[in-house]
Amino acid sequence: MRPVTVYDIAREANVSVATVSRVLNNTAPVKKETRERIVALMHKHQFQPNALARSLSRKETGMIGFILPDITNPFFPEVLSGFDYEARKLGYTYFLCDTISTNEENERQYDRQYERESQYLNLLMEKQVDGIVMIGGRVDLAKPGSELEREVEEASKRVPVLLLNGNLPQTKLNRISADQKLGAQLAVQHLIDLGHRDIAAIGGYAKMTNTQQRLLGFRTAMKEAGLPVRKEWILTEGFSVEKGREFASRLLGAKRRPSAIFCMNDLLAIGALKAAHRVGLGVPEELSIVGYDDIPQATYSIPELTTVSLQSQEIGRQAARTLDKMIAGKKVPRLQSIMPELVVRETTAPYTGPPL
Amino acid sequence: MRPVTVYDIAREANVSVATVSRVLNNTAPVKKETRERIVALMHKHQFQPNALARSLSRKETGMIGFILPDITNPFFPEVLSGFDYEARKLGYTYFLCDTISTNEENERQYDRQYERESQYLNLLMEKQVDGIVMIGGRVDLAKPGSELEREVEEASKRVPVLLLNGNLPQTKLNRISADQKLGAQLAVQHLIDLGHRDIAAIGGYAKMTNTQQRLLGFRTAMKEAGLPVRKEWILTEGFSVEKGREFASRLLGAKRRPSAIFCMNDLLAIGALKAAHRVGLGVPEELSIVGYDDIPQATYSIPELTTVSLQSQEIGRQAARTLDKMIAGKKVPRLQSIMPELVVRETTAPYTGPPL
DNA sequence: TTGAAAGCGCTAACAG
DNA sequence: CTGTTAGCGCTTTCAA
């Protein structure tokens, strides 16, 4: 059966569509009597306004596009859930745009990530979303390259775009970002305070801003404490549990090994935990480990991870509020910085090795 | 600046909008020469067709609504990622509708879950989605109650609805579901084969179909092996790590305790692992644990979880393909059953206690 | 091959 | 308070 429209309601109520529209949107006073008649009819026919038509004429859709790299990476659901909470309150609904996802062989496809982002950017604009938020992918690159940047900048002229936890340096897009350097400093300072001097750093990708910033924080903290940074103790290129295990194994297998490891995220830390376990090294007694991100899984391990909370939920919420303002045409600060917090749990303990 | 429309292109190309539309959709032959002229103009002006307008007249949107309870529960991103992969290939884009999400105080809001589902159902229909998939929430209830069911049935008359891993018994909606009972049997049989006789089952919610089915599988396997099921060893109402720890603690604190625990999901198993660790019980030497779902985190723990894979990615993929067929008006089987698989890892070992 | 014109369903002046 | 009417941007007959 053909869905019922405002015309159907109008006809049966002996009014014009304008009046129906008015009671639908409460956009102008309508005589109580006729209003009630119309409302009754709407219920009777289970009338559901066609949002497409409405959006077409109103020129706003209440839809947002959320572009992220990989929903199975537990960091993103955290951000998303905060975003969801606020966005819903503000009356938005959103498209989830995963630029990686998993194919039949169950393998992630990173190679086409940026291409996907471009596709989604266009698709979302065609769908007439009111705004777009981007996290991960090219936004994490220290030097995305002008083409990747230009594209987003171009998009931002048509629709508000907000970047999360990253940047596109050649553009002046709005963004919300945790202070990555500070987070790393917090973590490393914590280790130093515990008496550790031989500290390694593992994970991340050299080309990513977050990694560079965290490494910078690491170096800064070490330097301020007058501690040397050993090159062989900085192992990058990877963010997975598997990589964490690999990096840590390498570290722990060497003749001289660190007494503490600073990991670029929690997954790596979980991998490091596994490596330590494998070689029979007690954590935290013999080896301290600190993670980064504070994903829920940080409390699943034994022992539970000491880590740096990026306040991911908060970033998500902030994102929704900010994007809403941008959509409303209000001014928002170009950069909103979120303060990370050190969360001390069970993988760090005072240094107990031979006196230095 | 006003976005460019087919009219703008048409005018500048000295053709009618119909022709522009034709080259846009490749829906009828157009003279090569004029086609090229039009294509060039489109590029020149960065023309982006307005999907709203298109959908309004075509009566199809390429949009799907995906309703799930909680994106931060790692089971759902798995399903979603499989769904994403196929849906994208088929040209769909989807709204993520989380019915729980997290508020400012960082607490999940389960109480209004069903209400949210109803809201989203309506919202999605107004947005004119081509189809809806539902997982969790009311779909997991053994007796959802007629109102909750009627509503979905009603919706399904207007737009294809597909249920994942659950059912609404009073309706005859299409669904894709893992065989929960079989999965449980697999798990429990594995324990029995290892020589365990004292097996407990923890977690789940008594009112949920999945729990009932899994418990049924548990009982069936025990019965077939001639083993008794002790009432105090079946602890329900909960799906979290915290609950797992709590249940297992209770079990392990009693005078007589099981030598193996079958958990209704992996999070519970992780909790059980923690409980065992706390009381100094070695897993798997002194206590075997098996989980359910095989979320990625099942391999993060030490030792790694033996568990039942629900093939969540596959369910997601299947869902996309099936919904696409339904949208195309094709017939699909009312129920597609997915076979679970036992994944033996490190938390189960032969029984080594006193001879029975 | 191409154009004219009638929708798709709703909103928003404008007029009364 | 209410009705008329012109869009919103694209698709799709129906003719030519």
Could you check: is the Cβ of residue A14 within 7 Å of any atom of nucleic acid strand D?
Answer: yes
Both tokens assigned to A81: 């859930």
Tell me which residue of B96, B160, B87 sits closest to B125, measured CA to CA: B160
The structural domains of chain B, with segments of one domain joined by +, span 6-57, 61-178+312-339, 180-310
Chain B residue closest to A63 (CA)? B95
What's the confidence (pLDDT) of residue B109?
74
CB contact under 8 A, A52 and B274: no
User: Does the CB of A245 sit below 7 A from strand D?
Assistant: no
- Span B6-57 CATH architecture: Orthogonal Bundle (1.10)
Calculate mean pLDDT across residues B209-213.
Answer: 98
Q: Which nt is closest to the CA of A29, judged by C1'?
A: D1
State the fold for domain B61-178+312-339: Rossmann fold (3.40.50)
Q: How many CB atoms lie within 10 A of CB A115?
A: 10
The backbone region for A46, taken as left when phi is positive above 0, alpha when psi lies in -120 to 50, beta otherwise, is left
Instruction: Report d(CA B102, CA B116) in Å as an integer.
Output: 13
Integer Cα distance of A89 and B158 in angstroms: 27
Probe site for chain A from B81, B116, B242, B294 (most A CB atoms < 10 A):
B81
Q: Using CA atoms, how far apart are residues A352 and A2, in angstroms rounded to an integer?
A: 76
According to DSSP, residue B331 is labeled: -
pLDDT score at A356:
63
A283-294: per-residue pLDDT in tens? 999 999 999 999
Provide the CATH topology of domain A180-310.
Rossmann fold (3.40.50)
* H helical segments located in chain B: 6-13, 17-25, 32-44, 51-58, 75-89, 113-126, 146-158, 180-193, 209-224, 241-253, 266-278, 312-327
Residues A199-232: tens digit of each pLDDT: 999 999 999 999 999 999 999 999 999 999 999 9
Quick check: do B61-178+312-339 and B180-310 share a fold? yes
A12 CA, C15 C1': Å apart: 24
User: Using the CB atom, is residue A57 less than 7 Å from strand D?
Assistant: yes
Taking the C1' atom of every nucleotide in all shown strands and the CA of A128, the nearest one is: D9
CB atoms under 10 Å from CB of A304, counted, come to 15
pLDDT digits (tens, 9 = 90+) for B230-280: 999 999 999 999 999 999 999 999 999 999 999 999 999 999 999 999 999
- Do residue B84 and residue A78 have CB atoms under 8 angstroms apart? no
* Helix ranges restricted to H, A90-234: 113-126, 146-158, 180-193, 209-224
Place of tokens 């193996």: B260
Which pLDDT tens digit goes with each residue over A258-274?
999 999 999 999 999 99
List the one residue out of B354, B339, B320, B326 whose CA is nearest residue B88. Answer: B320
Yes or no: say if A340 and A307 are a contact pair by the CB < 8 Å rule: no
Would the CB atoms of A78 and B72 count as touching at under 8 Å?
yes
pTM above 0.75, yes or no: yes
Q: Does at least one atom of strand D sit less than 7 Å from the CB of A143?
A: no
